[in-house]
Amino acid sequence: MKIILFGAPGSGKGTQAIVLSEHYKLKRISLGDIFREEVKKDSSLGKEVKSYMEKGLLVPDALVSKVVEENLNEENFILDGYPRNLNQAKTLDKILEKKGESVDAFIYLEVDEPTILERLTKRLVCKKCGANYHMVNMPSKKTGICDSCGSELIQRKDDTPEVIKKRWEVFLNENKSLLDYYKTKNKLIAIDARGNKDIVLERIKKLL
């Protein structure tokens, strides 16, 4: 099974990708995680990506596609955070065609702007392991401390209302042609991603 998870920042892609990858035994490929790790290592890729991420802008297609191709192999996978526009979708098809493969499902997690603002402005991330928390919906057992590794929880620089709104605008401008593309291929599965993460997961599993 080869699945793409698509949705605006804060739609729950990362959370659902982890659970679905474990449930269906899929390799999870998260562009956001890969980029943040490179930024943390201060690699040449990380330096290139950092300026885009902090401004809430998308990383250029050519750079993103190169990273994706390097991480794809013959395994079944779930892609989180790619493709984000029509050009990237067509590039992904070409990458998979070389391997004799194709996408099985494009899952669109639908949310609205108020939901995204509520989720992201109150999101906390572990400084060391990258685990995600929410001040209200999914708090850590000890305030400000990661349950997994005991490190400090911080708010990401791009989780401010101003940057979130910018990311939302970019998302809206990009998404219609992408959704139409997978709809014509009969690969589009739209999911109401508002509400509890467990409820959303059951909706996804039911339609898959």
Rg (CA), the chain: 17
pLDDT tens digits, 174-188? 788 999 999 999 999
Q: Around Cβ 174, how many Cβ atoms within 10 Å?
A: 17
**What pLDDT, in 10s, does the model give residues 161-172?**
998 998 888 888
Query: Where do the structural domains in the chain lie, given as residue ranges?
Result: 2-112+175-207
pTM tops 0.85: no
Q: Which residues are catalytic?
A: 13, 84, 123, 156, 167
Superfamily designation of domain 2-112+175-207: P-loop containing nucleotide triphosphate hydrolases (3.40.50.300)
Per the document, the length of the chain is: 208
60-69, Cβ contacts within 8 angstroms, sequence gap of 24 or more:
61/85, 61/87, 61/88, 61/91, 64/31, 64/88, 65/91, 65/92, 65/95, 67/31, 67/34, 67/35, 68/29, 68/31, 68/92, 68/95, 69/95
d(C-alpha 186, C-alpha 76), whole Å: 20
Tens digit of pLDDT for each residue in 12-43?
Answer: 888 899 999 999 999 998 887 888 788 888 88
